[in-house]
């Protein structure tokens, strides 16, 4: 479920990044409200995801989804340039995100490091 939260958080990051284009420097009320709402939702979902996904992995995936998604939306919605290097760079971001997802492995007992730390703290009375 944490990976679904993380994916949704990344999608909302794309939403607020694209919507920011319509705020005109936060002078337009409704687009500005949309950006803030999408940001809050994105951060809440990211916070839910990092309960069970290591922070470094979750943040890198979240930022990668947002960066690649916003760049792709820029090409589609705003006719931004699509040079070979830009496309290769976006592919590298996507490959990195997929690599982090595919290489994320829980510990032998099925609990990731974050959960193990909390369980250890609970046993120690912290």
Residue pLDDT, tens place only, 56-66: 999 999 999 99
**pTM metric for this prediction:** 0.79
For 46-78, b where at least 16 C-beta lie within 10 A, e where not — what string? bebbbebbeeebbebbbebbbbbbbbbbbeeee
For 90-126, b where at least 16 C-beta lie within 10 A, e where not — what string? beebbeebeebeeeeeeeeeeebebeeeeeeeeeeee
pLDDT at 11 over 70: yes
Helices 55-78 and 29-49 sit at what angle, rounded to 10 degrees? 150
Helices 29-49 and 2-20 sit at what angle, rounded to 10 degrees? 160
Mean pLDDT of the chain: 87
Segment 96-116 shows an average pLDDT of 64
């Amino acid at each position: 479920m944490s990976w679904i939260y993380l994916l949704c958080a990344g999608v909302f990051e794309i939403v607020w990044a694209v919507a920011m284009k319509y705020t005109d420097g936060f002078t337009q009320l409704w687009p500005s409200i949309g950006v803030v709402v999408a940001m809050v939702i994105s951060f809440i979902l990211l916070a839910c995801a990092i309960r069970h996904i290591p922070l470094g992995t979750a943040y890198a995936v979240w930022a990668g989804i947002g960066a690649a998604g916003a760049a792709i939306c820029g090409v589609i919605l705003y006719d931004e340039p699509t040079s070979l290097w830009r496309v290769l760079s976006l592919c590298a971001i996507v490959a990195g995100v997929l690599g982090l997802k595919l290489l994320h492995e829980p510990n032998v007992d099925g609990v990731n490091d974050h959960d193990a730390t909390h369980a250890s703290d609970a046993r120690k009375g912290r």
